[in-house]
Copies of this chain bind each other. A is one copy, B any other.
Amino acid sequence: MRAAVYGGPGDIRLEDRPEPEIDNSTDAVIRITHTAVCGSDLWFYRGDDEPETGSRVGHEPMGIVEEVGDDVRNVEPGDRVFAPFAISCGECEFCRKGTQTACTNGGFWGPEGEVGGAQAEKLHVPQANGTLVRVPDRYADNEEVLEALLPLTDVMGTGHHAAVCADVGAGDTAVVIGDGAVGLCGVIASKRLGTERIIAVGHHEDRLELAEELGATDTVASTGQAAIEEIQELTHGGANHVLECVGAESSLETAAAVVRPGGNIGYVGVPHIDDPSFLEPLFFSNASFTGGPAPTRAYAEELMEDVLQGTLDPSPIFTRTVDLNGVSEGYEAMDEREAIKVLVKVNE
């Protein structure tokens, strides 16, 4: 079967790999039908991370179950399923607690793990009972629904995690920093949770326009001190709820500068910083700073329910669609910011 692998910075290629097999009684094998390219895939694409050459890539799998081990009870061959970027058993302390990204039996797809990547024709799924989320049969072949569900594997759950960590709720004012796919999902999540005012902060006019379509009531396109002042003015001294959806020094500085004293920052971008100067204003704001890799598995059923009833649709973040042969082109389009997020349709 064919799988996308890392060939070096800027080099994603398809290679033939062995068909995945059932190794343990809790495994499943799925035939991928939909997957995506993630902003975090750009880290290795740009050379910021350096996985081993030949590592399989992709961590947002959706597909059809082909085979299951003897102890898999939750899904059976033929089921349409998707899976969060983190493998999770569903039974350990951390899965029970809703922190599945720390599952004691878990792991990750893509170059960080040894399980395989989701940008491929097939995927080996450990801990299938916990990891796989089954799409109800009546929606299992509805393409529109499937494309709205696919972001639940990562970015939609991540935007939701930012909103949950920022403690947003009905009637609140939230600032969402970042206009990438996660920031846009942060806007969607904030709106879904009843936030009354959503201020989207970013660099790209077209993405901020999309943010408005998705629920942002205000947009801020400036940067640095100008952005901080604009947000401070819009919020009369800061917002109680800030979603930091980037992880860069400047976005953390903005978050710490615009959070209202005693407020809450949810952050979901891995902090990539050298200068920790945002910590001093963070401290003096007495704000909470909560986040991490999103336990998207914890949110999957809740978010799926809304997708199925038609009240949640993050699919507008997919601004380009490719097939497996086009994965490399998909990375390029995201790297050059020509696409917000790329949907990959496999095995069609």
- Show the binding face of A for B, using Cβ within 8 Å: 94, 97-99, 101-102, 165, 261-262, 267, 270-271, 273-276, 279-280, 282-293, 295
Residue from A270, A289, A293 with most neighbouring chain B CB atoms (10 Å): A289
Given contacts A102-B262, A275-B276, 8 further A-B contacts (CB under 8 A): A94-B261, A94-B262, A97-B262, A98-B262, A270-B283, A271-B283, A287-B290, A287-B292
Q: Determine the chain B residues whose CB is within 8 A of the CB of A98 once the complex forms.
A: 262
Shortest beta-carbon contacts, A-B, top 5: A286-B292, A102-B261, A99-B262, A276-B276, A288-B290
Show 8 residue pairs from A and B whose CB-CB distance is below 8 angstroms, ordered by the A residue.
A99-B262, A101-B286, A271-B280, A271-B283, A276-B279, A284-B292, A286-B291, A287-B290
| Known A94-B262, A102-B261, A262-B94; contact A286-B293, beta-carbon cutoff 8 A | yes
Q: Which residue of B lies closest to A295 (CB)?
A: B286
Residues B280 and A270 in contact, CB atoms below 8 Å apart = yes
Q: Which residue of B lies closest to A290 (CB)?
A: B288
Q: Nearest chain B CB to A271's CB is how many angstroms away?
A: 4
Query: How many Å lie between the Cα of A283 and that of B97 in the bound state?
Result: 17
Q: Nearest chain B CB to A159's CB is how many angstroms away?
A: 16
Q: Determine the chain B residues whose CB is within 8 A of the CB of A293 once the complex forms.
A: 283-284, 286
Copies of this protein, total = 2
Query: How many Å lie between the Cα of A292 and that of B270 in the bound state?
Result: 22
Q: Which residue of B lies closest to A279 (CB)?
A: B271
Residues A288 and B288 in contact, CB atoms below 8 Å apart = yes
Query: How many Å lie between the Cα of A102 and that of B201 in the bound state?
Result: 25
Q: Nearest chain B CB to A100's CB is how many angstroms away?
A: 10
Q: Determine the chain B residues whose CB is within 8 A of the CB of A280 once the complex forms.
A: 270-271
Residue from A261, A284, A288 with most neighbouring chain B CB atoms (10 Å): A261
Query: How many Å lie between the Cα of A270 and that of B276 in the bound state?
Result: 12
Q: Determine the chain B residues whose CB is within 8 A of the CB of A165 once the complex forms.
A: 288
Q: Which residue of B lies closest to A288 (CB)?
A: B290
Q: Determine the chain B residues whose CB is within 8 A of the CB of A287 once the complex forms.
A: 290, 292
Q: Nearest chain B CB to A162's CB is how many angstroms away?
A: 12
Residues A283 and B276 in contact, CB atoms below 8 Å apart = no
Q: Nearest chain B CB to A263's CB is how many angstroms away?
A: 9
Residues B286 and A102 in contact, CB atoms below 8 Å apart = yes
Q: Nearest chain B CB to A173's CB is how many angstroms away?
A: 13
